A and B are shown apart, each in its own frame.
Chain A
């Protein structure tokens, strides 16, 4: 559809990150929506300003300077709607990830059933699970009450019991929650999200509604083993907004500019990935990855069914120390192609946590940040795989086929060489089969997600305008054999009719130098029952691919990637991989 057929509206999408606030301008150019420019400023949610609007204002001033378009008025703030002389914009939307994670207590009956689902729900937003309550913990009612009054969480998520299932055990937990909430100062009482056995909704209402803010949504686990997260996830996002409004100076004013179109960055990312999953190859899923300063977000969707996970304190800025705390220094070092002492690595990571906006100025420091990003992504992806709609294997350790995978975050977009962005995604996620790795260079995804509901045409047209940089098509066969064994034969048919054949050995990483944008046809013939996503182990097939910034990458290093015990061997291997990339960068 051409935009001239609908009422074209210019849009500013503001994203308030932990470190940076970005204002993106979208408008109609030659009858189609386009991304125009971005203005960036430091986020001012925390000290010393404590007012997010200051950072937004500065980012809009930069946007004004870049575009030459007047967007702000001293008297009225952001000029909405746009005027006839093209001042201001018609719509403003805002997304936010800044702030300390929300403290959550999850409640369920059994650890591996409802409690697990409650945990998944908490992970769809910027939360820190401060405690968990279930029948497995053997706490008495008194112990539960004391625990809750000490923690004073922002939110309690209550799951538990299938519909028509057990009620008594959950009622006893509800009583503890009600009593403990009652004992807290009114201003400090937690919000409660009840998503348990629907037969208990009335009791929950009766017991909790007069004490604190209660929201009731359909059961997260209506029948045993089935997770129905979407209605609760939507409510979770509303709660996030409510809590942030209370905590964040200037946010109410910003929300008034957006006419209420405000959501969490993660939720907006999830929305746009869901949207894309309905647009791209229906048999594969779509994944969006955001490696932020504090948090890593993964969103994957298959046929419009989304799995969203937010991992706060797992980033490459303020969350850098969190990566080190959740893993070991050795796990981070495994990704380094250069020798750096433990102290230098550790000190760099902790300094990055306290100065998250700072940039690495040394070559070694850049390598540490890339290694940190790979490890953050590795931890996140290992956690999300078992929850994805499609599973590749019963072990739940490998990513199912995805097309495309889109990465965002400053560590990827600021990386001086494209291979660095690609290697973070490739090593961190370890995709399987044939997939395209793309880069959201301008950080558009959350903004497009926030706009998608009101103006899906904008989202579609901006995505179609080659807004993402194709880093490369990746072919990653799955299987195990001795290193050096030929596992795949590839015949590449170029558009001009030339044909090249390659043999791929297990353990290798190689690049087919296909020009950016060049279309090729690949005939893949796996050997030794290796699987390249053509319908099963040993199955051959044809696939059309487009060259990316690094051409086509054949990653035959195995899945999951194995490491040596000897760290020097790992380093040397990383050095070889780096040289492979550099040859084509």
Chain B
């Protein structure tokens, strides 16, 4: 998305900018997901199996498991559903 304005630069009216209003709990999270992790999580959210994800991304099932373990860790989630909710709240996954 080169050239697109960063979300925090956009005015939301009434003189307030989004930066003024960003949920502090969101800002506190530091471990960003990698683009590959976001791809894996979108497939997890859609209920695709590990093998299905491996096929879609042309990687090995073990690589998928590795990404999912990293996702659970970064999103502080115990379950796949928990990871999906956490990523949706952080704006890292689209609906």
Whether chain B is bound by chain A comes out as no
**B-to-A contact residues, CB < 8 Å:** none
